[in-house]
Amino acid sequence: MVDSLVKGVARFHRSYFRKNRSKFVELVREGQNPDTLFITCADSRIIPHALTQSDPGDLFVMRNVGNMVPPHRPGQECSSTGTGIEYAVSVLGVSAIVVCGHSHCGACAALYQTEHPDELTLTRKWLAQGSRVRDLVLAQRAYGTPSARARFGGHKEREQVMRATEMAMIVQHLANLMTYPAVARRVADGSLSLHGWYYVIERGVVEAYDPEQLAFAPVVRPGLSVRPRTTALLAAS
């Protein structure tokens, strides 16, 4: 596998880098000035620059398991995600933040597992941030008891629960962004906008969250009518 990565580096240097050498030189000379902070999952199927067709220097990308944004708390321990948010907003001066979740998210699925390997101590603590979303999903779908968390009444029901969880996680973490003083201040003065995206991997479609409609709808569907997907949980979040 490493050999294939090395070959990829060679192709990058003789092709992409050569064609865009002046851009890289400019980015070094002028420094980075990204317009967007893009927070997404560490899932290997998510490729932010390919998805958005962005150039080097356009996106300040932060990735973690589950595209989570821990809420800001005064005196809290240093958080890699929180540090990145503060840096992007207060130093780089991005004008937009995108929280991009996706279909078939392993982190969301793990919220419904009753057992985890003993060595996943850090993972369990990290995933606990999504427990509120999970409990809301279960409550609104009449699966409120712990013993029912692994049972969704069949494959179709399970898929519906997973999609609802994945979307609700995005909404929750948009709300968490507003707990950061720098984010709240810049949103209030109109210099920063927040966006929730849901990437459907198998369809190549991105749906954006509309806080007024409490729904997700495709950002681009040329020639097709847009029918928002809504869920009651979004209002509760």
Return the percent helix, strand and coil in the chain, to nearest 5: 45, 15, 35
Residue 108 is assigned to a ligand binding site: no
* Upper half-sphere CA count for residue 57 (Cβ side, 13 Å): 13
Q: Are 92 and 133 in contact (CB under 8 A)?
A: no
131-140 vs 155-177: helix crossing angle, rounded to 10: 130
Residue 100 is assigned to a ligand binding site: no
| Angle value at C-alpha 70, between 50 and 147, nearest 5 degrees | 100
What single letter denotes the amino acid at residue 138? L
Residue 49 is assigned to a ligand binding site: no
DSSP secondary structure letters along 182-217? HHHHHHHTTS-EEEEEEEETTTTEEEEEETTTTEEE
How many angstroms separate the CA atoms of 62 and 75, rounded?
22
Three-state secondary structure call for residue 90: helix
Residue 41 is assigned to a ligand binding site: yes
Q: Are 151 and 158 in contact (CB under 8 A)?
A: no
Q: Are 60 and 121 in contact (CB under 8 A)?
A: no
Known binding residues for Zn(2+) are 41, 43, 102, 105
Known binding residues are 41, 43, 102, 105
